[in-house]
Amino acid sequence: MLNFDEQRFLRIQSGAIALRARLDEVIGSCLRNGAENIFFLGTGGAAILMQPAAQLLQRMSRFPAFVDLPAELVITGSANLTDKSIVVIPSLSGTTKESVALLEKVKEIDATVLTLVGHENTPLGKGGDHAFVNFAEDDTSCESFYLQSLFIALSIMRHRGEIANYEQIVNELEGLPQLLLEVKRSYEEKAEGFARILAGSDYHIVTGAGNVWPEAFYYGMCILEEMQWIRTRPVHASDFFHGTLELVERGVSVILFKGEDKLRQLADRVQNFAPNYTEKLTVLDTADFTLPGISPEVRGLVSPIVLATVLERISAHLEVMRNHPLTTRRYYKRVAY
């Protein structure tokens, strides 16, 4: 595979899997000590990657789950953020400015902080009550963060008696790193073609629904915009028909991500509409990939993870095709802002 280290990938994703037992232990302790809610408080891309787990809790658990912006919470606070809150702060670098500032505020409140970081010797790696360290880099962090946050959500449901098949689910997830590697291999020949579509337009509408919507948002903002300087319009498939559809005409690229949860039908609606008005609809569907030993329920849970692993292959080809390395920035961490 192009510019890809298979063993490194397996090591990082297996590292995320290995954190499950300790995450479960910490969550169980928090709940026994009277935790009343959970906040997922990342910044930028790391925040987006927490959304499927937060959504799972909001839809399947009565334990209150909140998603908010650290930059705003530092200024406003929240009536729900108390010493009975569990706060999850993800940051690959462990140094994200807004998240570090939030950490200090949360400490004053005396909430219990779980940090998910790629580097231990950092403000967030050292500052949380419970730091979970799994080295990763930009091309491997999505799957790692998705897995860790999913384990947190599943653990809350397990300890509250809201999920009957926890053991089955986590047993299936144990084999996911190798399955994801096989997904990458199976898609490699097609990845260049998808990259060519992305390189062929300077503007894309990127959409999805359910737990893959965050991956659509993430890929548009953090990869195509930040790392490739390609303009995008990420829009949830539910909102596609409340404004964005008016921008669809011949020559406009629509990129649709489809997962396998109950909200797939909202993506179907976009897929049925767009070809009538543009010849540039491109669909990336997790149902097209083989995942031996993964049940339909778990396939639904891991749809954003599968998309992330396929999109990494597309991005690897895109940066070569455009002669624009994914590490190139003009402003991000380069100038004061």
- Rounded percentage of the chain residues whose pLDDT exceeds 70: 100
Q: How much is the pLDDT for 189?
A: 96
The DSSP call for residue 110 is: T
Q: Supply the mean pLDDT for the chain.
A: 97
Domain range list for the chain: 6-173, 175-321
Radius of gyration of the chain (CA): 19
Coil, strand or helix: which one is 258? Answer: strand
Give the C-alpha separation, 26 to 44, whole Å. Answer: 25
Q: How much is the pLDDT for 265?
A: 98
Q: Cα-Cα-Cα-Cα dihedral of 134, 53, 143, 124, to 10°?
A: -30
Number of DSSP helices (H) and strands (E) in the chain, helices first? 13, 9
Which residues neighbour 326 within 8 Å (Cβ) at sequence distance 6 or greater? 138, 139, 223, 227, 228, 315, 319
pLDDT digits (tens, 9 = 90+) for 287-321: 999 999 999 999 999 999 999 999 999 999 999 99
Can you give the length of the chain in residues? 337
Q: Are 52 and 259 in contact (CB under 8 A)?
A: no
> Band of the pLDDT at 337, cuts 50, 70, 90?
confident
Over residues 194-207, mean pLDDT: 98
Structure tokens at 156: 């809350």
Give the C-alpha separation, 89 to 271, whole Å. Answer: 35
In CATH terms, are 6-173 and 175-321 the same topology? Answer: yes
Q: Are 279 and 186 in contact (CB under 8 A)?
A: no
- Give the burial string for 139-168 (b: 16+ CB within 10 Å, else e): bbbbbbbbbbbbbbbbbbbbbeeebeeeee
Give the C-alpha separation, 209 to 218, whole Å. Answer: 13
Give the C-alpha separation, 324 to 326, whole Å. Answer: 6
- Give the burial string for 294-313 (b: 16+ CB within 10 Å, else e): beeebbbbbbbbbbbbbbbb
Over residues 8-32, mean pLDDT: 98
Q: Cα-Cα-Cα-Cα dihedral of 290, 291, 294, 296, to 10°?
A: -30
Give the C-alpha separation, 74 to 72, whole Å. Answer: 5
Return the residue matching tokens 């999805």: 208
Q: How much is the pLDDT for 28?
A: 98
Q: How many CA atoms lie within 13 A of 114 on its CB side?
A: 25
Over residues 177-193, mean pLDDT: 98
Q: Cα-Cα-Cα-Cα dihedral of 29, 176, 144, 35, to 10°?
A: -20
pLDDT digits (tens, 9 = 90+) for 134-175: 999 999 999 999 999 999 999 999 999 999 999 999 999 999
Q: How much is the pLDDT for 182?
A: 98
pLDDT digits (tens, 9 = 90+) for 119-132: 999 999 999 999 99
Give the C-alpha separation, 334 to 259, whole Å. Answer: 36
Coil, strand or helix: which one is 173? Answer: helix
Q: Is the pLDDT of residue 328 over 90?
A: yes
Q: How much is the pLDDT for 138?
A: 92
pLDDT digits (tens, 9 = 90+) for 93-124: 999 999 999 999 999 999 999 999 999 999 99
Model confidence, pTM:
0.97
Q: Are 262 and 209 in contact (CB under 8 A)?
A: no
Give the C-alpha separation, 86 to 83, whole Å. Answer: 8
The CATH classification number of 175-321 equals: 3.40.50.10490
For the segment(s) 6-173, the CATH number from 3.90.1150.10, 3.40.50.10490, 3.20.20.70, 3.40.1410.10 is 3.40.50.10490
